[in-house]
Structure 1
Amino acid sequence: MGGKLNFSLQQQRGMSYWGWLLIIAVLGFALTCVSKMAPAYVDARYVNEALKTLGQNPNLENMTKGQIKKELGRFFLVNNVRGEPTKSVQVVRGAKGTVVSINYELRQPLMYNVDVVMKFNKQLDTAKPELCCDPLIDLEQFRKRD
């Protein structure tokens, strides 16, 4: 019986050098991806919050396009949102309401010549503010109806 115990303990030596190297490489790649992409998703979360906050404004229908953009700009400034989200705000007025759209694409270099492309499309339709922030309509078709 002692011989079987020694044999099974010799089989259980732990992970090899290559096993540890593989785990470290996979974790390193995952951390690199997270560190490069996380800021874009944090900004997208703030864009979502900005549109929801704007949708709760009772004077939204009476605001001009400039006032709407200024209100969003203040929210972005307070929450340190910069770059593409702030540049891609569109306000389209229609017969049934106003659509505020923030549709943008970010290209983030990951390593060497590999880039990650992230697309974000958030909309607030004043006719249906409870359905904020998923894109409900194609803005090009919305413009053609009016």
Structure 2
Amino acid sequence: MNQTASMKNQQGVSYLGIFFAIVLFALAIKIAVAVWPAYWDDRVINSQIEEALSSLPKDTTQNKFKQDLSQRLEMNNIRDLKVDDIMTVTNTAGLAVKKDYEVRKPFLMNIALVMTFQKDFDQRSASTGE
């Protein structure tokens, strides 16, 4: 008799619980789909900057570096970000690149996800492999 009463109290997951779990899972998938391309593009941009800094000669001008990097990004299918908009390049004892940009992705109705990407690169450390 006591065992029967405890079995009635154990009913498992309710329909409402399952519904909330599905909603949370769908929300997580939507966030991942919105955020993943921007982070992937940033990884490609970082690798292309490092490759360009290590392969170009030390006396390369800022304009030549930007042209080379623009071609590299276009070959990697990154066409919505322009080099002049996302970074500044200086040349004092070697090229130095300061990447600083943000990406806004619409999420739900009037809510947008904002991702900020910042990183500094230096030709001296890129060429020595540090």
Alignment of 1:12 with 2:10, yes or no, is: yes
Alignment of 1:99 with 2:96, yes or no, is: yes
Pick from 40, 62, 75 the counterpart of residue 38 of structure 2: 40
Alignment of 1:27 with 2:60, yes or no, is: no
TM-score of the aligned structures, taking structure 1 as reference length: 0.75
Alignment of 1:64 with 2:40, yes or no, is: no
SS class of match (1:29): helix
TM-score of the aligned structures, taking structure 2 as reference length: 0.83
Q: How many residues were matched structurally?
A: 127
- State how far apart, in whole Å, the 2-side matches of 1:83 and 1:128 are: 29
- State how far apart, in whole Å, the 2-side matches of 1:97 and 1:63 are: 8
1:50-61, aligned counterparts within 5 Å? 50-57=48-55, 59-61=56-58
Pick from 63, 79, 90 the counterpart of residue 82 of structure 1: 79
The alpha carbon displacement at 1:66 in A equals: 2.2
Q: Give me the identity figure in percent.
A: 26
More deviation in 22-31 or 8-17? 8-17
The alpha carbon displacement at 1:6 in A equals: 4.0
1:141 matched to which residue of 2? none
Query: Is the Cα–Cα contact under 8 Å of residues 69 and 89 in structure 1 kept in the other structure?
Result: no
- State how far apart, in whole Å, the 1-side matches of 2:49 and 2:100 are: 12
- State how far apart, in whole Å, the 2-side matches of 1:39 and 1:126 are: 27
- State how far apart, in whole Å, the 1-side matches of 2:3 and 2:11 are: 14
- State how far apart, in whole Å, the 1-side matches of 2:96 and 2:88 are: 8
Could you list the runs of 5+ residues in structure 2 that have no partner in the other structure?
Answer: none
- CA RMSD, 1 decimal: 2.0
